Amino acid sequence: MENAKPQFPPKALHFMGILYSDEGFYNKAIQSLCSHFGEISMQSAPVNWNYSNYYREELGENIIRRFIFFRNFIEQSAIADIKIITNGIEKQLSYNDKRNVNIDPGYLTLAKIVLASTKDYSHRIYLKNGVYAEVTLIFKKKCFIPHINTYKDYQDQRYLDILLNARRLFKIISRD
């Protein structure tokens, strides 16, 4: 049996974490995201987001987080360009310079979860065009483990369960 050569550049499962309080804007965001990135393979149930007041002025009360996972894999290096596109979608759906959705693009590999950001911080690596990447969760001993700077919501067991299910899907599909 021959050893399989590793695939370079390595592919990843592309996902978005979306915050919203108005489902109409969420649906508009989904339409736009699908037009850019293709078909959705998995979508999480809504999860109440009450980790801080940071987004309340923009998004309003009763903020919801949902994750969507795309059918098409991406090259990991594409995450910077994807963040630029999602920032444009947020701006299109804004009103009076206030966002109605917050879209956090990321990718999942068998080893980690990476999120893109336009905010520099000590644990983020600059990619290009004002976009940074951070390893938010690592996979170890059959579960995702947060880092010291991982957002509180990404440490929530409900999120971890969603992401573990997506990892299982990615593991199965990436074998093909």
When pLDDT is cut at 50, 70 and 90, the band that residue 7 belongs to is low
Q: Domains of the chain by range and CATH?
A: 11-175 (3.30.70.260)
pLDDT at 2 over 50: no
Q: What is the pLDDT of residues 30-68, one digit of tens each?
A: 999 999 999 999 999 999 999 988 889 899 889 999 999
Residue 108, Cα to own-chain centre: how many angstroms? 8
pLDDT at 164 over 60: yes
Query: Among candidates 155, 129, 128, 130, which has minimal Cα distance to 143?
Result: 155
pLDDT at 9 over 80: no
pTM of the entire predicted model: 0.91
pLDDT value at residue 1:
40
Query: Among candidates 154, 123, 155, which has minimal Cα distance to 15?
Result: 154
At 46, give phi and psi (nearest 5°).
Answer: -65, 140
Q: What is the pLDDT of residues 93-151, one digit of tens each?
A: 999 889 999 999 999 999 999 999 999 999 999 999 999 999 999 999 999 999 999 99
The DSSP code for 112 is: E
pLDDT value at residue 115:
97
pLDDT value at residue 80:
97
